[in-house]
Structure 1
């Protein structure tokens, strides 16, 4: 098992880095530099919890500190679930697996990027967007190699050690991207299927100005699939959502924003030009 990503530029830390927010009693959003991780499990009721995504490279110590603050010492998760394998979502996964010795689950189509077999397409600096898009070729696109520590999610849609949750295939940003949904309370962990901050704009990333937007433009390669994924998630009528980037969102702000994105995805999310734009 090894981290095969090259030593490339890592984006600057956002102003909310290191902060956590209890979205629900058993859903905690922790911001690691520019990306959100989710701790799923109520520390007041159970010893079992699950980590969703693993943040930025070289951030393992910060994540371990956040886990200890939330759950106490030596409280490792039962499993790690990955929404997808981009560098900002798997940055600490190799170190965390070595620290905790727990299995990792991801969609079957994402496994080549998690076992060192395939790299993602190069980020698209030509895409319409702000400064972050222009510097995106400096971001790592190489896979990590988790070897036998990673396995595909159950085909029945269940999520190991997350009773009541189900995974939903939401491709477009990556081939095997997933989101997680709980029918009981309509809670959604969306990954990068959509985000609540425009991720290609450095100003909006730093200031965390909230707006429902499509997946990060410079790393999204299938816009038709991305639109269908947003429609699929909007149809679930989530009441609260944690996305890969930006602050958690709920209520009318979420429902109206997501409905608008699903309806006007071509205008709001799809760039006017870019390498992966049809």
Structure 2
């Protein structure tokens, strides 16, 4: 898929406010939709064929459909959905979207497919790496998720016009079959969670998208730090002009280049957690799913149950609020 349509690099990432549910033009044919705690991307030109990259958080299907109708027209379904990986915050609205777009194929790396076809859960999140989001990570269910018969293996077929010019870059570590998308013509990179541009381990930072800088993959859901290091090095070697990530605002130009090169060169010092379940020993996975998990220490067990208690408090508060408001959430 490397015969690229020639796009000239944009001079700056759009300054349009990244409000929830709002579309932000990033590069020609690349729009970012900010959702609660994550981003999805719409690739294509108005009125033409388009592709959705990732499928957002649970409850965000309506926001995604409205954004698609705004840009591509009513009743416009994507040619395909491409998943950078299958963690809950990237597939949370997928079932609801597929009910609206029943004929759409979903593409993912072969090493992601056990977690998307009901065969295996992901390695469980690690609440011991530090940060408020990490403590809440038991809320982010590891699956298994089942989207059959919609799941198909990469690469996508050549007739998916909206992906002309985009290449798959294998970037495992945060997930076994994690991928990024690279458009060589204008050096635009859709990263997924191989790195992000906010401190995702902190709930305030995850909500406000600050600080605005290159940061490691979300630590609480990264089960292989050595593979994650190699993936960051691979992306830094591309020298992207623009990078858009699963969490945080886009970055471009010299700031992106410098910070990404620093992360790659000093990954163990800047990215690898000082403690955590997967820091010394990764989860072992295969095409069948998870094979071996490193044990959780006694301290880790205590942190895990504390996190589960926090999750139960959050869920109880949400349920009470919904009942008191008499409201419902959109699927």
TM-score, normalising length: structure 1: 0.90
> Matches of 2:75 and 2:156 in 1, distance apart?
31
* Residue equivalent to 1:31: 34
> Matches of 1:184 and 1:50 in 2, distance apart?
18
Correspondence for 1:273 among 257, 272, 275: 275
Residue 150 of structure 1: how far off its partner (Å): 0.7
> Matches of 1:65 and 1:85 in 2, distance apart?
23
> Matches of 1:29 and 1:77 in 2, distance apart?
15
Structure showing the higher helix proportion among its residues: 2
* Residue equivalent to 2:196: 195
Aligned-residue Cα RMSD (Å) equals 1.6
> Matches of 2:59 and 2:207 in 1, distance apart?
20
* Residue equivalent to 2:96: 95
> Matches of 1:123 and 1:152 in 2, distance apart?
25
Secondary structure, aligned partner of 1:133: helix
Q: Which runs of 5+ in 1 are unaligned?
A: 1-14
1:113-167 alpha-carbon deviations (Å, 9 max, x no partner): 110111011111111x2111111112211122111211100299x7943011111
TM-score, normalising length: structure 2: 0.76
Residue 19 of structure 1: how far off its partner (Å): 2.4
Residue 16 of structure 1: how far off its partner (Å): 3.8
8 A Cα contact 1:186 1:238, kept in partner:
yes
* Residue equivalent to 1:133: 134
Secondary structure, aligned partner of 1:85: coil
Shift >3 Å, 4+ stretches: 158-161
Pairs aligned (count): 260
8 A Cα contact 2:32 2:39, kept in partner:
yes
Q: Which runs of 5+ in 2 are unaligned?
A: 1-17, 281-331
* Residue equivalent to 2:239: 237
8 A Cα contact 1:159 1:166, kept in partner:
no
Which protein has the larger Cα radius of gyration, Structure 1 or Structure 2? 2
Distance 1:252 1:220, change over 3 A: same
Residue 36 of structure 1: how far off its partner (Å): 0.5
